[in-house]
Structure 1
């Protein structure tokens, strides 16, 4: 672990992990980690105040996306089973419920394929990076029918995506997407979607990306990107222009 603006490591959290595809950090500092161990798949939580691990979810495959909502419900994106499952963290029995993808429906708005990143907003609406269908699906609370909010199949075509894997909503409900095969980060705004990072093609320069997998914001609006094929984490600074209306990442 590193502090903001520092290259000095402040902590080292060690454990037995294999093929950890995703992590999620809560506001209190707890860390949730996907752990694909030899004898099964599970999600573990590192308790920051106690400096120890505990198992919080046993699953049938790796979680390619993790999210904890404001009600302490843990969501897992099971890419290889094309479904999203959840469990309530205060229930020690760790009962798992399927949220999306329980069957194989003919309605394409319900079916998801190889889901990756997930995000749950304060209304408990679920956003899914439906990577196999090149789109972002919104499943509102209690509704199994998805609405395409980004991708060519949207009712209001927005931007073409190619295997989106990461997704984040900001406080204004603007959508930010790691567009894996297009090697870029795109974001929505008052005038629709636009490319933010990696807009000049794939590469290893500081302004370029190669297969970005996930993204996250800090409290200052800076964006962090898992730049997978370049084997690095990239930080892009948030800057407002002179009118204070547009976001620019450098």
Structure 2
């Protein structure tokens, strides 16, 4: 994939399409990896002009595409997460103060993941925390008491990833480390979205 700006986020969907979020060009583009001939990129989201309208992005970073090919975009400078459904140029705000159910305020979100239960996890960079959704909306999971370098704190985290057990690894950028958080189980043995710090990778 050749693009006219650096990619700040990458994702490959279940159909083998590669997505690239271009922070400086305010767009997400995609291209099929299965084409015998490499055609030009297609716009997946954004107009290429910074803005806050539903068809615009302002500094997109993290991206995630689910099995329905719904595209989630961490729209950093607009302090929101946008959902673009297949074939739609207008997105809907699913997290942030402008969402239909505004239960969380974001500040420069940089990473997003949707789990198998369709719960959304967000790296809220400037608030130095990880937030997650449940049936009641969004709430803070880690880094809930301010920026710092303790095991339960971050200093401008950048991105995150799950392992097969549901544990979360977080790039804690300004603390120069990777943090691992264990997904705990409730008294019935079921997984719940509560995290305990396990290990730091310097």
User: TM-score if structure 2 supplies the norm length?
Assistant: 0.92
Match of 1:117 among 62, 66, 75: 62
Match of 2:135 among 187, 190, 207: 190
Q: What per-residue deviation string (whole Å, max 9, x for no partner) do you get for residues 213-240 of structure 1?
A: 1111111000010111011111101111
Rounded Cα–Cα distance in structure 2 between residues aligned with 1:225 and 1:139:
25
Q: What per-residue deviation string (whole Å, max 9, x for no partner) do you get for residues 41-98 of structure 1?
A: xxxxxxxxxxxxxxxx111111110000000000000000000000111224252111
Q: What per-residue deviation string (whole Å, max 9, x for no partner) do you get for residues 167-205 of structure 1?
A: 000001100000000000000012211100101111111
Rounded Cα–Cα distance in structure 2 between residues aligned with 1:80 and 1:181:
19
Q: What per-residue deviation string (whole Å, max 9, x for no partner) do you get for residues 138-163 of structure 1?
A: 00111111100000001221200000
Aligned positions of 1:202-213 closer than 5 A: 202-213=147-158
Per-residue deviation, 1:241: 2.1
Paired residues in the alignment total: 194
Rounded Cα–Cα distance in structure 2 between residues aligned with 1:147 and 1:161:
16
Q: What corresponds to 1:227 in structure 2?
A: 172
The answer on whether the counterparts of 2:101 and 2:137 sit within 8 Å (CA) in structure 1 is no
Q: What corresponds to 1:90 in structure 2?
A: 34
- Tell me: CA distance 1:164–1:105, structure 2 relative to 1, closer, same or farther (3 Å): closer
Ranked by relative contact order (alpha carbons within 8 Å, sequence separation 6 or more), the top structure is 2
Per-residue deviation, 1:246: 3.0
Gaps of 5+ in 1: 1-56
Q: What corresponds to 1:80 in structure 2?
A: 24
The answer on whether the counterparts of 1:174 and 1:189 sit within 8 Å (CA) in structure 2 is yes
Gaps of 5+ in 2: 197-202
